[in-house]
Amino acid sequence: MKSRSRYLLWLAGFALVVSGWMVFAQLQQGLPAEPGANAAAASAPEQPIPFSHKKHAGDLAMPCEFCHAPSRSGESLLIPPVSKCMSCHQTVAANEPAIQKLASYAHDNAPVPWVRVYELPSFVNFSHKVHLDHGNTCEECHGQVAQRNQLFQEVGISMQACINCHRAKKAQTECDTCHEPQQ
């Protein structure tokens, strides 16, 4: 039992240091450290091709799952391959410079090098499937995507933000809910 207590104490200390580092990194990038923390001042990363979620998810009411299909396991949602985009854009706005650039990626059979807006550290186990199965919405973690021409990290993804959400929803908050136990 002492060993487990020592492990949990070590894990809590490690998580505190990592969480502090993540908040510092987010603040250095001008990103909000917690949900709602100065989200309007956050800046969107420059993308290789301009993409408007407002146009696609908002005006056209395309559901998130249309483009962001689940991986085979369902644990993660994928950034769409360029072929998915071109299934519409072979004819829709085909003469626009951005779409022509998109078509060049498709022609070269190369993925668009999108800049990730949300990315969790590799030591965090996160399942989109579990969260969606429990009634969470995309907007809870990703903000009002359907209202954004450019995405920025408007919802905090720090450990504290996740724990606060879990507590509010009466979900598990034990360390091994999101982290693999160390042996």
pLDDT for residue 68: 94
Q: pTM to 2 decimals?
A: 0.71
* Alpha carbon distance 36, 32 (integer Å): 7
75, 127 in Cβ contact below 8 A? yes
Indicate if the pLDDT at residue 30 is higher than 80.
Answer: no
Query: Which residues on neighbouring strands pair with residue 77, listed in sequence order?
Result: 70
pLDDT for residue 181: 83
pLDDT for residue 182: 74
Indicate if the pLDDT at residue 34 is higher than 60.
Answer: no
pLDDT for residue 1: 52
pLDDT digits (tens, 9 = 90+) for 69-105: 998 888 899 999 999 999 999 999 999 999 999 999 9
pLDDT digits (tens, 9 = 90+) for 111-158: 999 999 999 999 999 999 999 999 999 999 999 999 999 999 999 999
pLDDT for residue 108: 97
Mean pLDDT rounded to a whole number for the chain: 83
Which amino acid, residue 91? T
Query: Where do we find the tokens 């022609």?
Result: 107
CA 56 vs. chain centroid, Å, equals 18
Indicate if the pLDDT at residue 15 is higher than 60.
Answer: no
Element (H, E) at 84: helix 82-89
pLDDT for residue 42: 57
Indicate if the pLDDT at residue 107 is higher than 50.
Answer: yes
pLDDT for residue 117: 93
Of 17-31, 60-74, 101-115, give the lowest mean pLDDT range: 17-31
Percent of the chain with pLDDT over 70: 77
* Alpha carbon distance 178, 58 (integer Å): 32
42, 165 in Cβ contact below 8 A? no
Tokens of 52: 């408007």
CA 144 vs. chain centroid, Å, equals 13
Indicate if the pLDDT at residue 7 is higher than 90.
Answer: no
